[in-house]
Amino acid sequence: MSVARQARYPVIAATHSRKKPLTVTQLKTKLLACDAFGITRAAKLLNSGKTVAIPTETVYGLAADARSDNAVQKIFDAKGRPAENPLIIHLARPEDLPRFARAGNLAMSLAGRFWPGPLTLVLPAKENSGISRVATAGQRTVALRVPAHETARKILGAFGGPAAAPSANLSGHVSATAASHVLDDLGGRIDAVVDGGSCDAGIESTILAVEADTIQLLRSGAISAEDIESEIGEKVLLGSGTGAPPAPGRGFAHYAPKTRVRINADRPGIDEIWLGFGSNAKEDSMNLSKSGDLSEAASNLFQMLRIADKLAIESGSAAIAVSRVPDYGIGRAVNDRLRRAAEGRKDWQA
């Protein structure tokens, strides 16, 4: 999970490769390689209050110094993100947790088992930890994550501080799982992007709120609730009623391509782009996973939605029709994103 995959799905990578030269606007954003020079440069940019998109094992994150109101504000501005939607704070090492949050035994064992990795913990924030209130949107809690991606960890280590980083897409749009997706959405609006190839998991981290002895799922993600329960031996509460506040961002429209999305489809209509799953396939169409593997479907989801959107716009298709995906394990995270994509977003502008 820690190493960026360059092209596990060569057909898709080729379809999406950039054939046109970068535009002048996009060139304002430096494209850095994930080598020693790129990592050092990215850390320096973060230290001087700039915004840098970095690869993680889930999706690309748009990072800035979490201690600086000014730097964090640049993230909100670049994404067009509502100010009341707090950001996840990314740390280089699990040992950094106590500097920023109060963690009991349960939170410590979750961090011990799943960090570094695609799990975000929402915990009571420590006062005077130095995290900007712009980043936490004034919440009394803070969302923390230690990514497993080698390049992300090197950049965070070289930077030396906490980095606020939401997904590196325009607010409300499909998350970015390749540097080219970041440039498509944010080229010219951010200072740099580090190209670490395609993200492995391809879907965001699982978010848990941990309060005393309860664990509440705030967002399904790359680690399934079933896996967390079996590792920790504690129930993960789904839905509300536990007293933990919902993730504020869950109220906003998300993951919407420009084209309408129709989910749980049995087959495509004549004017629809088809996104199949398993044996529910159509010749020459995209398939989230031919073998019906849910992790592969999660990994392909965002890039295939972006491609389907482009194809639909080019061909004047009315909608993207997506096959039914089983609703267990990682399938729950896939269905969550698909439902939100299908809700659409009327006010979304590229």
Q: Which residues bind Mg ion (CB under 5 A)?
A: 167
Nearer to Mg ion, 119 or 321 (CB): 119
**Where along the sequence are the contacts to ligand TXA (CB under 6 A)?**
56, 58-59, 61, 85-88, 118, 120, 122, 136, 139, 141-143, 145, 165-167, 204-205, 207, 218, 247-250
Q: Residue 35, SS3? A: coil
Of 125, 120, 290, 300, the closest CA to residue 199 belongs to 300
Instruction: Rank residues 87 and 170 by Cβ distance to ligand TXA and give the closer one.
Output: 87
| Cα gap 343→340, rounded to integer Å | 5
Q: How far is the CB of 284 from ligand TXA (least distance, A)?
A: 32
Residue 227 to residues 39, 113, 236, 326, 336, Cα–Cα distance (Å): 33, 11, 10, 17, 18
**Residue 167 or 299 with smaller CB distance to Mg ion:** 167
Q: At what angle do helices 105-114 and 225-232 cross, to 10 degrees?
A: 110
Q: How far is the CB of 207 from ligand TXA (least distance, A)?
A: 5
DSSP state of 102: -
Sign of the four-CA dihedral 150, 11, 206, 237: negative
Structure tokens at 57: 């094992």
- Nearest residue (CB) to ligand TXA, 108 versus 253: 253
Residue 103 touches which member of Mg ion, ligand TXA, none, C-beta under 5-8 Å by kind: none
Alpha helices for the chain (secondary structure H): 10-16, 24-27, 36-47, 69-79, 97-100, 105-114, 150-159, 179-186, 225-232, 294-315, 330-343
Work out what residue 225 binds among Mg ion, ligand TXA, none; the CB cut-off runs from 5 to 8 Å by kind.
Answer: none
> Toward ligand TXA, which CB reaches closer, 164 or 321?
164
Three-state SS across 138-171? CCCEEEEECCCCHHHHHHHHHHCCCEECCECCCC
Q: Provide the minimum distance between the beta carbon of 24 and ligand TXA in the complex, in angstroms, as a whole number.
A: 28
With CB cut-offs between 5 and 8 Å by kind, which of Mg ion, ligand TXA, none does residue 320 bind? Answer: none
Q: How far is the CB of 55 from ligand TXA (least distance, A)?
A: 9
Residues contacting residue 24 through CB under 8 Å, at least 6 positions apart:
none
Rank residues 175 and 216 by Cβ distance to Mg ion and give the closer one. Answer: 175
Nearest distance, CB of residue 266 and ligand TXA, angstroms: 31
Q: Which does 299 bind (CB under 5 to 8 A by kind): ligand TXA, Mg ion, none?
A: none
| Contact partner at residue 142 from ligand TXA, Mg ion, none, CB < 5 to 8 Å by partner kind | ligand TXA
With respect to ligand TXA, which residue has the nearer C-beta, 147 or 278?
A: 147
Q: Least separation, in Å, of the C-beta of 249 and Mg ion?
A: 7
Burial category of 206 from C-beta neighbours within 10 Å (exposed 0-12, middle 13-18, buried 19 and up):
buried
Q: Which residue is nearest to ligand TXA (CB)?
A: 249
Q: Quick one: which of 279, 276, 258, 257 has its CA closest to 267?
A: 276
The distance of closest approach from Cβ of residue 218 to ligand TXA in the complex, given in angstroms and rounded to an integer, is 6
Q: Residue 170 binds which entry of Mg ion, ligand TXA, none, with Cβ cut-offs from 5 to 8 Å by kind? A: none
Number of Cα atoms under 13 Å in the Cβ half of residue 318? 6
Nearer to ligand TXA, 85 or 285 (CB): 85
Taking the complex as a whole, the smallest distance from the CB of residue 106 to ligand TXA amounts, in Å, to 17
SS3 of residue 13 by DSSP? helix
